[in-house]
Each structure stands twice: as C-alpha cells, then as structure tokens.
C-alpha cells in the first residue's frame, strides 16, 4: 500500500459531490408559480406536492408546513401533548426533536440509542415510561429506520402516541410502508441539507382524518379546513406555519428525482457496507432487513482506534478527507451535551421549579450516544449519488489508513515520518 496522503502520498481519489441538485425543470416550475400570482395559501403546486409526497410515504394525508421543527411542534399540539407530559426522545438527534417538546411545555425524557442502528433503543424505552409519559418520538437517523415494530408495540401497550421524526428518511419504507405512516403523525424537514429540499420547509403526515383536520387548522392560524365536516366549528388557537407556493414548486421538481436518488444512494451504501464491513476496526451503521426502501441522509460507521495503532478519530477523519476529498465529521453531539440544546436559557421554559429541574438535560445518561459522538464517522448523502467506483474509493482509502496506521500514529505523536 502506498503512503497515506496526509504523510505525502497521492490521494486515493477526489470526490466532489454537490447538493442540492437541480435543473431547468425547477426553474420552469418556479416561473410557473410566479406567473400564477398564487404565491401562498394552498396553491396548485402545494396541493399537488402534498398529494404526491403523502402517497409516496403511503399516508392518507399530508400537509406542507414552514419547517421540520414546526412539523414536530404541530404534531405534538395536534396530539394534545402539553404541560407536564413526558415525551421519550432519543438522545442522539438534531436538537429540534427535543426542542419541539419544550415548545409545547412538555418534558423531553432523553433515552439512549441502539449501538447498531443509532436509533432509539426499544430495550430502554419501557424502563423510561412513567405515569406521566404521553408520547414517544422515534428519529430515523442518518441511514437507518428505528425499530417501528418494537416501539410501536410498546406505545400501544402503554397507550402512548407515537411521532416519527422522518427528517432523515424521505422515501424510506419499513415493511413496504412509508416512514411517517406508522406513528400517529410523521414529521419531515425540507431544509437545505435534506434529501428532499426547498431550502427550508416541512411536512406532516397522518392516516387519521381528525388529526389531519387539527393539523390543517394548526398550520393556518386555527382556521377550519373549507369543505370539512368541521368547517363551521369555532377556530382553534394557532399561528401561521404555512409554506409558500415557490417552495412547493421546487419540491415538485425535487420529488421527481427522489426515487431514483434513493435507489442510487441505497445501492452505493450497500456496496460500501460490504467493503467497509470487511476492514478491521470499522463497521457501518446497521440497516434493518425490514427496511424495504432505504434512503440515507448520511452514511455513518464506527471507528475503533485500537485497530489503527491508537490513531485518534480526529486524525483518522482528517487523513480520510485528504485521501478522498469528502468531508468526514462526528455525529450529532448527544442532547445532554449539545451546544444548541439549552432548555434552561429561555424564560418561557421557567414553568416552575419542578419543570425547571425536569428539563435539565444533564439528568439523563446516554453512553451509546456519547460513544458514537466520540468514535463514529459521518459523511453526507450527496457523496452516495456519485459513481459506485468512486464511492468505493472511500473503502480503499480506509484500507490504506489501516495499512499505514503505525506511521500515522507516529505522525500524530509528532514523530519523524518515514520517507
Ligand atoms: C432529525 C431532525 N429533526 C428535525 C429537524 C428540524 O428540521 P428544520 O431544520 O427544517 O426545522 C432536523 C433538521 O435538521 C433534523 O435533522
């Protein structure tokens, strides 16, 4: 094996993936929306997108909303989760999953994730349930789907509602059913980094007719849906959580690409799983066999420094980046140590001493999430849209680092590098 690039060798490859991907098609759709003069408020693009995306996720209903954070918040409000209720939230996720719980004055109870999938660990959920628990949120994290069979059964047994945070899993299916269709409500994000994007935006899905009516009202200043059985009912209290027709126009175009992109990502991820799985000291995030269509927001693998002569994960990520051109990073910081999850910095959350103590994230223990933050390696989904041979160069580069681990560790310790 030749010298690692960080020690002066030639890099294995140069992957320069771009995101978002778009063409004249999105341009034409935006122009059409502009010309229609119908820039917001359930225009034809928004309705068409809602129907198509809900169908893709095998859900009876879907509604566009302002972003993924709001999608979660409206899900909790529609399900009447509120003051003093406990909501079980995985400890490894973007902060919005827990922040939306705070925003309805409920208490996020942070539960650790499963080391194989990095999703909420069903074995720990039951122990976290108390008489105050009202809801469980699963997050289908990076390239995995949470164990919906096990967690769905726990929710049913305990009379809890289940919300699916699908911000990473557009298009993914569990036993041929779209994610977002197995919980009471599914919440999606269309923020710029996501695999279906309009720059910003969000979506809620449900099979339940009355939840659909509530979600409709909640996103639209409390108004009842015209034509619904509830049309003449008194409005609900809410605010404006709508998206624009221009965002919907982009989403119509992006959705036309999604299924093909899912296929490419899944095929490349599966080839990479095999290649990485054969290298000592690294192991990919597990994708459950019950996932019948896989999309990936990011590719993740565990790294064991002991198999690389003690080379730190930071140096490993840096060396791998120089080999491939891909940016490798750590997973999310666990929510008990997240810089952006700071419930006790907002006066609105000071609902009393008991609540203040209950929302302190440091009361939770998240050893697996913490280990993932310290030892896992993540790269973004657009890399998986490249040619398979290029994607597999990541495995070749890892092999090279494995072969050169002693020299790399010496370099890290400041020792002389072999010529
Ligand atoms: C898991 C998860 N949930 C929720 C969100 C919130 O979505 P948004 O940024 O659209 O508010 C994100 C976005 O980053 C996310 O990654």
pLDDT in tens, 76-109: 999 999 999 999 999 999 999 999 999 999 999 9
Per-residue pLDDT reduced to its tens digit, 287-339: 999 999 999 999 999 999 999 999 999 999 999 999 999 999 999 999 999 99
And the tokens for 268? 């490349």
pLDDT at 43: 95
Say yes or no to pLDDT of 114 above 60.
yes
Q: How far is the CA of 196 from the centre of ligand 1 (A)?
A: 12
With a 6 A CB cut-off, is 139 part of the ligand 1 pocket?
yes
| pLDDT computed for residue 27 by the predictor | 98
* Cα separation, 26 vs 253, whole angstroms: 5
Residue 111 tokens, joined: 């539960």
State which of 65, 66, 68, 332 you would mutate to test the pocket of ligand 1, scoring each by most atoms of that ligand within 8 A of its C-beta: 68
The whole-number pLDDT of residue 415 equals 80
- Write out the catalytic residue numbers: 194
Q: Could you identify the residue written with the tokens 């909420």?
A: 120
Question: Angle at the Cα of 172 (from 160 to 170), degrees rounded to 5?
Answer: 90
SS3 assignment, position 288: coil
Enumerate domains of the chain plus CATH numbers.
5-20+258-331+372-412 (3.90.1150.10), 24-254 (3.40.640.10)
Q: Is 191 in the pocket of ligand 1 (CB under 6 A)?
A: yes
**pLDDT over threshold 90, residue 416:** no
Angle at the Cα of 247 from the Cα atoms of 183 and 64, rounded to 5 degrees: 25
pLDDT value at residue 1? 63
Distance CA 407, CA 2 (A): 12
Q: Give the number of the atom of ligand 1 that is nearest the alpha carbon of residue 193.
A: 14
- Ligand 1 pocket, residue 332 CB under 6 Å: no
In this prediction, residues 175-204 reach a mean pLDDT of 98
d(CA 380, CA 142) in angstroms, rounded, equals 9
As a whole number, the mean pLDDT across the chain is 97
* pLDDT one-digit tens code per residue, 338-388: 999 999 999 999 999 999 999 999 999 999 999 999 999 999 999 999 999
What Å distances lie between residue 23 and 247, 248, 256, 383, CA to CA?
A: 15, 16, 12, 19
Q: 66 CA distance to ligand 1 centroid (A)?
A: 12
Question: Ligand 1 in contact with 247 (CB < 6 A)?
Answer: no
- 407: tokens are 């020299």
Query: What CA–CA distance (Å, rounded) separates 216 from 204?
Result: 10
Element (H, E) at 402: helix 388-403
Compute, in angstroms, the gap from residue 94 CA to the centroid of ligand 1.
6
Cα 261 to ligand 1 centre (Å): 20
Query: Are 141 and 168 contacting, i.e. CB atoms less than 8 angstroms apart?
Result: yes
Q: Show the tokens assigned to 193.
A: 């980094």
Q: What percent of the chain has pLDDT over 70?
A: 99
In this predicted structure, the answer to whether residue 229 has a pLDDT above a threshold of 60 is: yes
Structure tokens at 94: 């973007």
- Please name the residues in contact with 413: beta carbons below 8 A apart, sequence gap of 6 or more: none
- Residue pair 269/143 in contact by the 8 Å Cβ criterion: yes
Residues 6 or more apart in contact with residue 42 via CB below 8 angstroms: none
**Is 418's pLDDT higher than 70?**
no
Give mean pLDDT, residues 33-42: 96
Residue 274 has pLDDT above 80, yes or no: yes
Strand, helix or coil for residue 170? coil
Residue 363 CB contacts under 8 Å (≥ 6 apart), including other chains: 357
């Amino acid at each position: 094996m030749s010298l690692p690039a960080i020690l002066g060798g030639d890099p294995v490859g140069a992957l320069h993936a771009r995101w978002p991907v778009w063409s004249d098609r999105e341009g034409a759709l935006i122009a059409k929306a502009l010309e229609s003069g119908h820039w917001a408020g359930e225009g034809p693009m928004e309705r068409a997108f809602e129907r198509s995306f809900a169908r893709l996720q095998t859900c009876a209903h879907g509604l566009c909303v302002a972003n993924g954070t709001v999608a979660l918040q409206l899900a909790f409000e529609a399900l009447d989760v509120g003051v003093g209720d406990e909501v079980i939230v995985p400890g490894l996720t973007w902060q919005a999953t827990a922040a939306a719980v705070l925003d309805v004055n409920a208490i996020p109870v942070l539960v650790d994730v499963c080391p194989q999938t990095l999703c909420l660990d069903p074995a720990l959920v039951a122990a976290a349930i108390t008489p105050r628990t009202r809801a469980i949120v699963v997050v289908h994290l990076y390239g995995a789907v949470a164990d919906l069979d096990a967690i769905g059964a726990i929710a049913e047994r305990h009379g809890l509602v289940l919300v699916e945070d699908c911000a990473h899993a557009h298009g993914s299916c569990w036993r041929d059913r779209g994610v977002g269709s197995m919980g009471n409500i599914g919440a999606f994000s269309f923020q710029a980094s996501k695999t279906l994007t309009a720059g910003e935006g969000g979506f809620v899905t449900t099979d339940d007719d009355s939840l659909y009516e509530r979600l409709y009202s909640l996103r639209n200043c409390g108004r009842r849906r015209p034509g619904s059985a509830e049309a003449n009912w008194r409005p609900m209290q809410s605010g404006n959580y709508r998206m624009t027709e221009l965002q919907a126009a982009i989403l119509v175009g992006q959705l036309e690409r999604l299924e093909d992109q899912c296929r490419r990502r899944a095929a490349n991820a599966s080839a990479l799983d095999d290649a990485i799985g054969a290298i000592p000291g690294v192991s990919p995030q597990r994708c459950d066999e019950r996932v019948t269509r896989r999309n990936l927001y990011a590719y993740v693998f565990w790294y064991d420094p002991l198999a690389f002569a003690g080379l730190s994960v930071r140096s490993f990520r840096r060396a791998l980046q120089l080999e491939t051109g891909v940016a490798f990073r750590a997973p999310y910081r666990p929510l008990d140590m997240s810089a952006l999850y700071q419930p006790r910095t907002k006066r609105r959350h000071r609902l009393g001493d008991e609540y203040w103590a209950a929302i302190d994230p440091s009361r939770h223990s998240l050893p697996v999430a913490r280990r993932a933050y310290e030892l896992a390696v993540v790269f973004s989904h657009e890399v998986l849209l490249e040619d398979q041979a290029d994607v597999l160069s990541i495995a070749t580069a890892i092999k090279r680092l494995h072969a050169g681990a002693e020299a790399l560790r010496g370099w890290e310790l400041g020792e002389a590098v072999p010529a």
